[in-house]
């Protein structure tokens, strides 16, 4: 809630619509997650991972999909943090003072 309010505030200052911020986070992370998924599953066989972790009911397609979304979550977090830290520091100061 708070983060959302901050974001809106921030956007008003920089004139960037929220939707575009969201796209800027989700889209590059989607691309890199795709690459990461490809590389990861080339090396590691999902069957072995599933047996080792005891998730024998998950299908192969499911393992690949879950892998992809975990990667996407991670890359999206790092993209979001980049976006967040990109905010000029003086704006934070200005709001407090």
Give the residue, chosen from 59, 77, 78, 82, that forms a contact with other proteins under the rule CB under 8 A. 59
Tell me whether residue 17 or residue 54 sits nearer to other proteins (CB atom).
Answer: 17
CB 21 within 8 A of CB 83: yes
17 touches other proteins by CB under 8 A: yes
9 touches other proteins by CB under 8 A: no
CB of 14 to other proteins, least distance (A): 7
What the block records as the tokens of 39 is 């590389």
CA 37, 39, 41, 44 dihedral sign is negative
């Amino acid at each position: 809630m708070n983060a959302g309010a901050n974001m809106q505030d921030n956007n008003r200052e920089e004139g960037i619509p929220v939707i575009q911020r969201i796209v800027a986070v989700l889209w590059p992370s989607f691309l890199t997650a795709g690459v990461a998924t490809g590389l990861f599953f080339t090396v590691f066989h999902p069957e072995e991972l599933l047996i080792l972790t005891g998730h024998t009911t998950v299908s192969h397609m499911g393992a690949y999909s879950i892998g992809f979304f975990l990667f996407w979550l991670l890359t999206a977090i790092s993209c979001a943090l980049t976006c967040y830290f990109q905010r000029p520091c003086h704006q934070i100061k200005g709001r407090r003072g």
